[in-house]
Each structure stands twice: as structure tokens, then as C-alpha cells.
Structure 1
Amino acid sequence: MSTDYTYLALFINYAILLFMLGSGIWVAWDTYRSGRPVSEVLAWGLFALVFVGLGLIVYLFWRKKMPPTG
């Protein structure tokens, strides 16, 4: 009896992709909401998108240390 893991692999790949997109969008939105310049919003969003878990953790750590703007 042979088991085909194609659907499981597709599900896991899509779940990782959705997590990547979600963390990047959330970090960019949160940075924008805090009044940061657009360049910083894009930089943080792309950083969180590319470095999947690490980007989100680093942003959450540095968010508290960033001085408020506006």
C-alpha cells in the first residue's frame, strides 16, 4: 500500500507561504500605523516576509525600542 504525500506537501507549502505573507503584511501595517516613513514600512515588511519567523521576532523586539514618531 503506497501513500502519496503530494497533497500534504502542497498543504504545508501553502501554509508556509500564507504565514510568510501574513507576517510581512502585518509588520508593514503595524509599522505604517505607528507613523513610520514609507521606506521604513517597506523595509520592515520585506524583512519580515523574507526571513519568515526571524523577521517577525526581530520586529516585535525592536518595535518597543523605536522612538515614537509624530
Structure 2
Amino acid sequence: MSTEERLGPEAYLTPDEAKELHKLFVASMGFFVTVAVIAHILVWMWKPWFPDTPGYAMLNDGVQVAQAALTMLA
């Protein structure tokens, strides 16, 4: 294969190889984004990250317990 068939200066891929690599990259990126979206939805269902939602009730109770413990130590 001659260097004229390669993409760009000192490139190692032919146009067909570059297209195949791009297809694999796009597919793997789509898979990664799908897994990330599912993970965010599952975490949101477990513990929402905005205040005034039921997921923060346990956190507020923990802060109150910690404050009471600190006032007893002082």
C-alpha cells in the first residue's frame, strides 16, 4: 500500500480503516453514555441529590445526631 492512500501526513490508517475505527468508537461511546445514564437514574432513585426530597431525610437525621454528640462532648 502506498503512502498516498493513507489519510493525512504520516497517518497509519487507510480511509476504510479509519471509517471502521470511527464506527467502533461511536458504538463504544454510545454504550458508555447508555451505562452512565442508567447509573445516574439508579442513583437518583436510591438517593436524590436535590434538597427537600425524601432521600435527604436520613442525611438530616445523621447531622442532628452528630450535632447532639458534639454538644455533649463540649
After TM superposition, is the score higher than 0.5?
no
Higher relative contact order, structure no. (Cα contacts within 8 Å, ≥ 6 residues apart) = 1
Larger radius of gyration: 2
Which category of TM-score, normalised to the shorter sequence, fits these structures? Answer: 0.3 to 0.5
TM-score, reference length from structure 2: 0.43
TM-score, reference length from structure 1: 0.45
